[in-house]
Structure 1
Amino acid sequence: MTLQTIILAAGMGSRLGRALPKPLTELSDGRSIMQQQHDNIRAAFGSDVRITSVVGYRAESIVEAFPRVNYVHNERYDETNTSKSLLRGLAATGKSGVLWMNGDVVFDPRVLGRAIEFIDRDQSFVTVNTSKVSDEEVKYTISAEGFIKELSKTVVGGIGEAVGINYISSKDKAAFMRQLQRVDDQDYFERGLELAIAENGLLLEPMDISDLYAVEVDFAEDLERANLFV
């Protein structure tokens, strides 16, 4: 079965201070953030992988740069957060499991190689880094069984950070989408995962990539750090 992937690229990315959508930000190797993501996805899963980008702010710029992938438009990109963009993307991907990522993550190609084992057994997961825990990032805790228990920016006592690369299995997808529908417009998609854990029994594994690089580019200093790796 062809793997379904989603890149969330609808936001304005105003904190980075660029006119173009943040996924089109150029890296030191000459590729854009999104081009690096496309390259990593195809290197891990082959040329048949289905990539769907959720776009909003200056969508035409992204479509022009990557005309051969699928697009879903979030016309309310300036009023909604990643929960509603992801919901639109998931609705366009049928009943299969879906790998998705934030459109501003620069990451080691080996991350997706590590994900193959989870995807092959259709196991929902969140990619995590335990080497640092910053207040402004999405943090997590785990249950006694080792599954994700809490997942948000407000988690107290977090044991690591979520990286922004995740997978929802075919069996968990419908419940997750229902939770994304009910969360507030300004919620991040992590809120939908937390509700699915609490109310639907979602078993969400942490996939640790602390030994690999993954940088979510929000500010200029993040871009500088990402450029140290590519």
Structure 2
Amino acid sequence: MQAVILAAGFGSRMGGALPKPLKPLFGLPLIDHNIIKLREIVGEENIIVVYSNKALADHIKERFPRIQLAFNSRPERENGYSLLFSEGLIKDNFILTMADHYFSDDFISNLRLDSPNKAFVSRFCDDRDEATKVKTEGIYITDIGKTLKDYDYFDTGMFFCNKDIFPYIEKLSKEREIVKLSDVFGAMAKEKKLTYQLIEGYWIDIDTQSELTKAERFIRNNLSKPTDGPVSKYINRKISTLITPLLIGRIKPNTLTLILSVMGIIPSILMAYGHFFLGGILTQLISSLDGCDGEIARITHTKSRLGGVLDSTLDRYSDSLIFFCSFMPFSGLLEAKIALLLTLAGTILISYTSHLTGCRPRFITRDVRLLLVMIGGILSLIRPIYMLHTMLFIGIVSHIGVFFNLLSFAKKEKTTKQNFAL
């Protein structure tokens, strides 16, 4: 299996000196998003990029040294003719796509690469006037083009092909100067040589800066996780998704995890010396940045079990240190010693039981606990003892969360057994 990315266009509508495939999209050049996703299917060494710009070639050689490059000396003859320059590198079946298209992860994961000469089509399109439309009949595409009035779906710019496509390109290139992919696939469609698969995932053809902005908005809105608590969802993600594009390509996720954990020592020291306000503010700031490592991993497809375990483990260390240090200024009080035991046990057990049961009370997730630390720091400006009361409150609510987990799990187990008995 191979993949061909056509990246030899001029991109005149986008403007600027930078080639369109190198325009940054959420911290990564546009073409990198496609390469990162396709190499998981075919491997980096089986990706071919057809280019005409030296800056693009230099970027590929530096960033993805195993990719094969094919130079297009006639980019003015359009994208159909551009594919012809990859012919000598093609062995059999290959995925074909464009460097200026963005495809979501679920779009890519839904591709069926069973039989070649297939177009991946969609009911959705961002710009109907500019989109290439397809008319279908049964399993075949019967017509394809931008000017179709009667059509069923939109061409997404993703195809699954084999070497049978090249005779069509060669024939058309002898007949006309401009050879578009829609012309090539149109010729195949007339002979019922082109099938299709309907895809539900998000995609967008990026020709203008506004479309680039739409793609970035989609990425930002889809970086949240199902396990995000309310503070992460409505506050922290808004901050982290602004910072993450600045960090992508500059730091690895696990390295950032370690750095943020070390940074967590600073508010702990401030807490230990009674500077609750500054310690609380820094605690919430670090909590807001805590999502950046995971966001980088998801965007660059470098997620790993090690990274997840490391992140979760270091979070427990950081939380325990912050909570412990926040009680140190009150160490002479019996109330503080009881509250410390209650809080440390509660915050550890809430995480542990959530992991074991799969239940997760939204009212006391980690992001909520750390926001409460900041609130306690602010209240300490009125009276320092309010910090102790806040930590005690966190401990009590955490134990309520533990009880909630156990109760929810017991109900789930009872329902499962009843269904099994039926």
TM-score after normalising by structure 1: 0.84
Question: How many aligned positions are there?
Answer: 216
Tell whether 2:30 aligns with 1:36.
Answer: no
Q: 2: distance between equivalents of 1:102 and 1:20?
A: 17
Q: Which has the larger radius of gyration?
A: 2
Letter in structure 2 aligned against 1:161 = F
Distance 2:3 2:172 in 1: 18
Which amino acid is the alignment partner of residue 139 of structure 1? Answer: K
Report matched runs for 1:191-230 at 5 Å.
191-198=183-190, 200-202=191-193, 204-209=194-199, 211-230=200-219
Q: 1:155 aligns with which of 141, 145, 148?
A: 148
Q: Which runs of 5+ in 1 are unaligned?
A: none
CA distance in 1, matches of 2:89, 2:9: 19
Counterpart AA for 2:157: G
Q: Determine whether 1:187 maps to 2:179.
A: yes
Structure 1 residue aligned with 2:85: 88
Determine helix, strand or coil for the equivalent of 2:107. helix
1:103-118 to 2 correspondences below 5 Å: 103-115=99-111, 117=112
The 1:67/1:49 distance shift into structure 2, 3 A limit, reads: closer
Task: Please identify which structure carries the higher helix content.
Answer: 2
Q: CA RMSD in A?
A: 2.1
**Using a 3 Å threshold, how does the CA distance of structure 1 residues 66 and 19 change in structure 2: closer, same or farther?**
farther
Match of 1:129 in 2: 122
SS of equivalent residue, structure 2 residue 217: coil
TM-score when normalising by structure 2: 0.48
Contact 2:84 2:166 in 1 (8 A): no
The alignment partner of 2:159 has SS state of strand
Native 8 Å contact 2:104 2:201 kept in 1: yes
Please report how far the alpha carbon of residue 35 of structure 1 lies from its aligned counterpart in structure 2 after TM superposition.
Answer: 1.0
Q: Deviations over 1:173-220 (max 9, x none)?
A: 45444445445332311211111222x441x222222x3111111011
Distance in 2 (CA, whole Å) between partners of 1:46 and 1:101 is 13
By how many angstroms is 1:222 displaced? 0.6
Is 1:141 the counterpart of 2:135? The answer is: yes
- CA gap of 1:6–1:46, structure 2 versus 1, over 3 A, is closer
Give, as a single letter, the amino acid of the residue that structure 2 aligns with 1:107.
F
CA shift for structure 1 position 62: 3.7
Quick one: distance in 2 between partners of 1:65 and 1:185? 34
- How much does 1:73 deviate? 0.5
Structure 1 contact 90–177 (Cα < 8 Å) conserved = no
More off after superposition, 16-25 vs 127-136:
127-136
Match of 1:24 in 2: 22
- Given the superposition, is the C-alpha separation of residues 56 and 174 from structure 1 closer, same or farther in structure 2, using an over 3 Å criterion? closer
Partner of residue 43 from structure 2, selected from 42, 47, 50: 47
Deviations along 1:1-49, one digit per CA (max 9) or x if unpaired, are xx11100001121111121211111112x11111111111123x15366
Letter in 2 for 1:146: I
CA separation in 2, counterparts of 1:194 and 1:183? 15
Return 5+ residue gaps in structure 2 as ranges: 220-422
Q: Identity of aligned pairs, percent? A: 23
Amino acid at match of 2:108: L
Which residue of 2 is the match for residue 56 of structure 1? 52
CA contact 2:142–2:192 (8 Å) conserved in 1: no
- Secondary structure of the residue aligned to 2:110 is helix
